[in-house]
Amino acid sequence: MLNIVFVCGMNRWRSPTAEAIYQDDPRVHVRSAGLSRSSKRQLSAGDLEWADLVLVMENQHKAQITEAYRHKLCLPKIDSLDIPDDYRYMDDDLIDIIRSAVEPYLA
pLDDT in tens, 17-33: 999 999 999 999 999 99
In this structure, are residues 33 and 58 in contact, taking their beta carbons and an 8 Å threshold? Answer: no
Given a cut of 90, whether residue 16 has pLDDT beyond it is yes
User: What is d(CA 32, CA 24) in angstroms, rounded to the nearest whole number?
Assistant: 14
The single-letter DSSP state of residue 83 is -
Domains, the chain? 2-102 (3.40.50.2300)
Given a cut of 90, whether residue 59 has pLDDT beyond it is yes
Given a cut of 90, whether residue 70 has pLDDT beyond it is no
Structure-derived torsion over alpha carbons of residues 73, 31, 6, 67, reported in degrees to the nearest 10: -20
pTM of the predicted structure, to 2 decimals? 0.97
pLDDT value of residue 38 = 96
Instruction: Provide the pLDDT confidence category of residue 72 given band limits of 50, 70 and 90.
Output: confident
Given a cut of 90, whether residue 73 has pLDDT beyond it is no
| Alpha-carbon radius of gyration of the chain | 13
Query: What's the whole-number mean pLDDT along residues 82-87?
Result: 97
In this structure, are residues 30 and 6 in contact, taking their beta carbons and an 8 Å threshold? Answer: yes
